Amino acid sequence: MPLKLSVEEIRMLADQERRMDSGELPFVNSPGGRMSVSPEVMAELGLAAGQTVSWPIMQAILEATLASLQAHMALDKAVQQ
Protein backbone atom coordinates (compact mmCIF):
# COMPACT_ATOMS: atom_id res chain seq x y z
CA MET A 1 0.00 0.00 0.00
CA PRO A 2 1.69 3.24 -1.12
CA LEU A 3 2.02 6.09 1.34
CA LYS A 4 -0.21 9.03 0.37
CA LEU A 5 1.25 12.36 1.45
CA SER A 6 -0.28 15.81 1.19
CA VAL A 7 1.56 18.59 -0.61
CA GLU A 8 2.32 20.18 2.79
CA GLU A 9 3.78 16.91 4.12
CA ILE A 10 5.96 16.58 1.01
CA ARG A 11 7.15 20.18 1.48
CA MET A 12 8.06 19.45 5.11
CA LEU A 13 9.97 16.32 4.08
CA ALA A 14 11.77 18.26 1.34
CA ASP A 15 12.77 20.90 3.91
CA GLN A 16 14.09 18.19 6.21
CA GLU A 17 16.11 16.71 3.33
CA ARG A 18 17.64 20.13 2.58
CA ARG A 19 18.48 20.61 6.27
CA MET A 20 20.21 17.21 6.33
CA ASP A 21 22.09 18.08 3.12
CA SER A 22 23.34 21.34 4.65
CA GLY A 23 24.46 19.65 7.89
CA GLU A 24 21.86 21.51 9.96
CA LEU A 25 20.13 18.24 10.92
CA PRO A 26 22.15 15.16 11.87
CA PHE A 27 21.22 11.91 10.18
CA VAL A 28 22.27 8.30 9.83
CA ASN A 29 22.16 6.04 6.80
CA SER A 30 19.83 3.24 7.81
CA PRO A 31 18.90 0.06 5.96
CA GLY A 32 15.78 1.92 4.78
CA GLY A 33 17.61 5.09 3.71
CA ARG A 34 18.75 8.33 5.28
CA MET A 35 17.00 9.27 8.52
CA SER A 36 17.18 12.38 10.68
CA VAL A 37 18.12 11.71 14.31
CA SER A 38 17.92 14.23 17.16
CA PRO A 39 21.26 15.50 18.51
CA GLU A 40 20.31 14.10 21.94
CA VAL A 41 19.82 10.57 20.61
CA MET A 42 22.98 10.87 18.48
CA ALA A 43 24.97 11.75 21.63
CA GLU A 44 23.24 9.15 23.84
CA LEU A 45 24.06 6.32 21.42
CA GLY A 46 27.49 7.62 20.37
CA LEU A 47 26.55 8.04 16.72
CA ALA A 48 28.26 10.23 14.13
CA ALA A 49 26.36 12.22 11.52
CA GLY A 50 26.24 10.36 8.22
CA GLN A 51 27.18 7.05 9.84
CA THR A 52 25.76 3.87 8.34
CA VAL A 53 23.85 1.86 10.95
CA SER A 54 22.57 -1.72 11.15
CA TRP A 55 19.05 -2.87 12.01
CA PRO A 56 19.90 -3.38 15.73
CA ILE A 57 21.25 0.18 15.96
CA MET A 58 18.23 1.43 14.04
CA GLN A 59 15.99 -0.25 16.61
CA ALA A 60 17.95 1.42 19.43
CA ILE A 61 17.53 4.81 17.71
CA LEU A 62 13.77 4.29 17.43
CA GLU A 63 13.48 3.18 21.07
CA ALA A 64 15.57 6.13 22.32
CA THR A 65 13.54 8.55 20.20
CA LEU A 66 10.26 7.13 21.51
CA ALA A 67 11.48 7.36 25.13
CA SER A 68 12.55 10.97 24.58
CA LEU A 69 9.18 11.90 23.06
CA GLN A 70 7.32 10.21 25.93
CA ALA A 71 9.43 12.13 28.48
CA HIS A 72 8.76 15.44 26.70
CA MET A 73 5.02 14.69 26.60
CA ALA A 74 4.96 13.82 30.32
CA LEU A 75 6.83 17.04 31.14
CA ASP A 76 4.46 19.12 29.01
CA LYS A 77 1.48 17.50 30.72
CA ALA A 78 2.93 18.17 34.18
CA VAL A 79 3.59 21.82 33.33
CA GLN A 80 0.02 22.28 32.05
CA GLN A 81 -1.49 21.05 35.34
Is residue 48 assigned to a domain?
yes
Supply the pTM of this predicted model.
Answer: 0.80
Q: Is 2 part of a structural domain of the chain?
A: no
Q: What is the tens place of the pLDDT at every residue in 36-72? A: 999 999 999 999 999 999 999 999 999 999 999 999 9
Number of domains in the chain: 1
Quote the domain boundaries for residue 62. Answer: 7-80
**Residue at 27 is within a domain:** yes
- Does residue 49 fall inside a structural domain? yes
In a domain, 23, yes or no: yes
Please report how many Cα atoms fall inside a 13 Å half-sphere around the Cα of residue 32, on the Cβ side: 7
Label residue 23 left, alpha or beta by phi (over 0 means left) and psi (-120 to 50 means alpha): left
In a domain, 1, yes or no: no
- pLDDT tens digit string along 16-32? 999 999 999 999 999 88
